[in-house]
């Protein structure tokens, strides 16, 4: 009986391996690793924002609307609980994506406003923060692209026969991915051209 049990276990192992069980596990781990890098880069961006906002406030404190938008967008993005399960929840993933997209938009508006203030643009601290932010946005784009590719590869395995049968057996489902609609907008680093002439300030400022 013991020998029969061992043979059955070996047969089951070979069957699962041949049907893509190991591929599913490997793909799932790769998705998790790439997702962690995406989160790390978004967190790096969030950590830069308070200093950036305070620097801009020192030269343009009356730009309250833009400063408030950045602060609120950062707060909303940071309030979303980031767990490994998020990558398996389409609704939660969509909320995360939307929040990060709103923060990207708010940052772009903040950097655009800085064009109105020559002294701010000349501030060494601001220039350093802007360069760090731009570099972080580039790293976000790279991390997102890696995540997108790993999810695509994983989802193909989950949907393909016969691995789809093994996937159903062990609860592996298709994972949500970043949408095409906002991929370009989010992954493009906010650009500030310090060489361009300053825009005229509105009257009264």
Give the pTM: 0.78
Residue at 156 is within a domain: yes
Does 202 fall in a domain? Answer: no
Full domain range(s) for residue 153: 30-187
Whether 62 is covered by a domain: the verdict is yes
Cα–Cα nearest to 86, from 43, 44, 49, 38: 38
List pLDDT tens digits, range 127-143. 999 999 999 999 999 99
Residue 155 inside a domain? The answer is yes
Residue 198 lies in a domain: no
Domain count, the chain: 1
Q: How many degrees, rounded to 5, is the angle at CA 37 between CA 32 and CA 39? A: 90
> Is position 194 within any domain?
no
Quick: pLDDT tens for 89-132: 999 999 999 999 999 999 999 999 999 999 999 999 999 999 99
Identify whether 12 is part of a domain: no
Give the pLDDT band (50/70/90) at residue 22. Answer: confident
Residue 60 lies in a domain: yes
CATH assignment of the domain containing 144:
1.20.1440.20
């Amino acid at each position: 009986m013991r020998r029969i049990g061992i043979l059955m276990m070996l047969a089951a192992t070979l069957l699962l391996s041949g049907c893509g069980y190991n591929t599913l596990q490997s793909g799932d781990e790769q998705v998790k690793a790439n997702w962690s890098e995406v989160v790390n880069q978004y967190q790096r961006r969030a950590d830069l924002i308070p200093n950036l906002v305070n620097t801009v406030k020192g030269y343009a404190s009356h730009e309250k609307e833009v400063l408030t938008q950045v602060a609120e967008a950062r707060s909303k993005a940071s309030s979303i609980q980031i767990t490994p399960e998020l990558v398996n929840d389409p609704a939660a993933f969509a909320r995360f994506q939307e929040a990060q997209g709103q923060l990207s938009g708010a940052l772009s508006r903040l950097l655009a406003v800085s064009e109105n203030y020559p002294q701010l643009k000349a501030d060494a601290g601001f220039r350093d923060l802007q360069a760090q932010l731009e570099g972080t946005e580039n790293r976000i784009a790279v991390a997102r692209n890696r995540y997108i590719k790993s999810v695509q590869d994983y989802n193909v395995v989950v949907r393909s026969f016969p691995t789809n049968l093994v996937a159903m057996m062990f609860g592996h489902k298709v994972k949500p991915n970043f949408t095409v609609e906002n991929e370009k907008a989010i992954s493009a680093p906010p650009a500030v051209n310090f060489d361009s002439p300053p825009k005229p300030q509105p009257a009264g400022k």
